[in-house]
Each structure stands twice: as C-alpha cells, then as structure tokens.
Amino acid sequence: MLVAGNWKMFKGPSAAGSFCRALRDADLGDVDVAVCPPYVSLADAVQVLAGTEIGVFAQNCHWADEGAFTGEVSPAMLKELGVYGTIVGHSERRQLFGETDESVARRVKAALDAGLNVIACVGETDEERETGRTNDVLERQLSVLEPDDGLVIAYEPVWAIGTGKTATPELAQEAHAFVKSQIDLPVLYGGSVKPDNAKRLAEQPDVDGFLVGGASLDVGSFAAICQAASTS
Ligand code: PEP
C-alpha cells in the first residue's frame, strides 16, 4: 500500500518544512508514504524527511534534461534535489494546462529513464462516465504507458477530485480491475479520499493505495488515512 499526498499549489517552503517535521513524528501505520509538494518546497521536504522512509515526489516533470522550456523542470533537476519520484498526468494538468496522452507518455518515460519513480494518473470525466465511455477513456490513457518497476497508476475519476464525491468502493474496484486488465501495475485510488472512507476503499482487492489531495494537507487527516490503509 502506498499513500501519497498531492499538495497541489499549497504550502510554500516554510509550511512544507513544518508539515514534514510533524509527519516525521506521526503514527503512519504500516504503509509506504509519500508527499508531493510544489516545486519550490521540494528541497525543504527532502531535507526534513532525509533518513526517514517517507518519499518526496514532485507534481510533474518535463521530458528533456534541459532546454528552452520556460516554466518547466527536468527529471535530472529533480534527481539532483534528492526527489524520489513524480506525479505525471494529473487531471488538473490535462484539463487546465493542455497535457495530452502523448505529452504524459513522454514525461513518464523520461522520469523513469532518469531513475525517478512515477505515479501516472488516469481517469474519466463525469460526462465520459455518464455516456458509458469510462473504459474507452482508461484504455486510451493507458495505451501510451508501458509497465515498469518504477511506475504505479493512480485511477482518479475527474468527477471525484476535490468535489467530496468519492467513488463507491465497488465502483473503484471495478475501475481498478479494468486498469489492471490493461496494464499490470499497482493502482492507487484518488478522488475525495478522507479518513472516514479510506478503510472501505482500501479493503477492495485491487486498490493498492491512495493519491490524496485535500485531506493530505492536514497531518492529522493524512495520518488517519495512512492508518486506515494500513489496517486493511
Ligand atoms: C488529487 O488531487 O489527486 C485528489 C485526489 O484530490 P482530492 O483528494 O482533494 O479529491
């Protein structure tokens, strides 16, 4: 079980340092744990969490080592910082910043080649689910990825992200089983995971952990989710 906290555009360096100091001392149960701070806070998180088992992931990375790509950060730069991995293809990147299946694939490959671990996100929109296209969308998004020891998939139905609408455990299980039929990798669930719904989701046979947004910003609720996943 891996529980990763996606902080999105929250917590600058000083808040990240305080959070990671508290996390170091928290009871996180028996799961793998990662935090995904914004770029500017990665160095502080790496420093505070050095010597612990908690991994630090970026939220995205470019495919090139360096170049004229204003606003982007390369896998080599993340490695130099001591970052353990990166999220790629989050639905907010796809929907708000024009990421495509092809750009996601390039980023994933470059990050893996550089020795970073990758959480690659897939998931359908509300409209895609309502019109019966969930599996087609997942199949398309996964078709550009290849299994790798450093890669895990996060199934994040877009309609459940930041909305308080969580997938039912049964629906999550069904989607995770479909994802695994397409690519043989661990699959995290993401979409309004909270301390009170984490246990039932984690009990599903094909749920291998969580990618948590909002509830990962508070040490208490993040630790409670880790504990719920740990006892499942
Ligand atoms: C996410 O950002 O990956 C996410 C799942 O957010 P939330 O938990 O807030 O829905």
pLDDT by position in tens, the chain (length 232)? 999 999 999 999 999 999 999 999 999 999 999 999 999 999 999 999 999 999 999 999 999 999 999 999 999 999 999 999 999 999 999 999 999 999 999 999 999 999 999 999 999 999 999 999 999 999 999 999 999 999 999 999 999 998 888 889 999 999 999 999 999 999 999 999 999 999 999 999 999 999 999 999 999 999 999 999 998 7
2, 7, 8: residue to mutate for ligand 1 pocket, most atoms within 8 A of CB: 8
End-to-end Cα, the chain, rounded Å: 9
* 224 Cα: distance to centroid of ligand 1 (angstroms): 16
Q: Are 122 and 104 in contact (CB under 8 A)?
A: no
Q: What is the pTM of this model?
A: 0.97
Element (H, E) at 155: strand 151-155
- Residue carrying structure tokens 């980023």: 107
CA distance 179 to 218: 30
Contacts of 25 (CB under 8 A, 6+ apart): none
Does 166 contact ligand 1 (Cβ within 6 A)?
Answer: no
For the CA of 214, the closest atom of ligand 1 is 9
